[in-house]
Amino acid sequence: MARPAPRARWLWINHVMDLFCPLCDRPIPDGAKSSRHHLVPKLKGGARGETVILHQICHSAIHARFSETELARRLNTIETLRAEPALAEFLDWVRTKPCDFHAPTRQATSRGRATRYRRS
């Protein structure tokens, strides 16, 4: 039997199992925007490395705040991402939202440095 394509297998797993975003600890329901995050960015050698499934808004928040180099060097685990002050305020805010919540994420004005999450 042929092995399912990675995307198809990921969708099947999402349908069968209750997924939780390891960053914000909210469930990822069927139909919610989600994506796979490489803990070490692909451009920095993580193409075959560990990945986690996150809410799309959580994933976008990571890449809006940090450069690929910073993610590869010091923010390459869920624990270090959660502990980062630039992301902690966002996580506190997003945890108050429904689990299927999504909104556009603005690029931080100074990527790689701590910036405040701006609520609109």
Residue 2: inside a domain: no
DSSP string, the chain: -PPPPHHHHHHHHHHHS-EE-TTT--EE-TTS-EEEEESS-GGGTTTTS-EEEEEHHHHHHHHHHS-HHHHHHT--SHHHHHH-HHHHHHHHHHTTS-TT-----PPPSSTTS--PPPP-
pTM confidence score: 0.72
State the CATH number of the domain containing residue 45: 1.10.30
Q: Which domain holds residue 60?
A: 7-94
What does the pLDDT look like over 94-104, one tens digit per residue?
Answer: 999 988 898 87
- From first to last of its 120 residues, what are the pLDDT tens digits of the chain? 455 555 544 444 445 467 899 999 999 998 889 999 999 988 888 889 899 999 999 999 999 999 999 999 999 999 999 999 989 999 999 999 988 898 877 665 555 544 444 444
Residue 85: inside a domain: yes
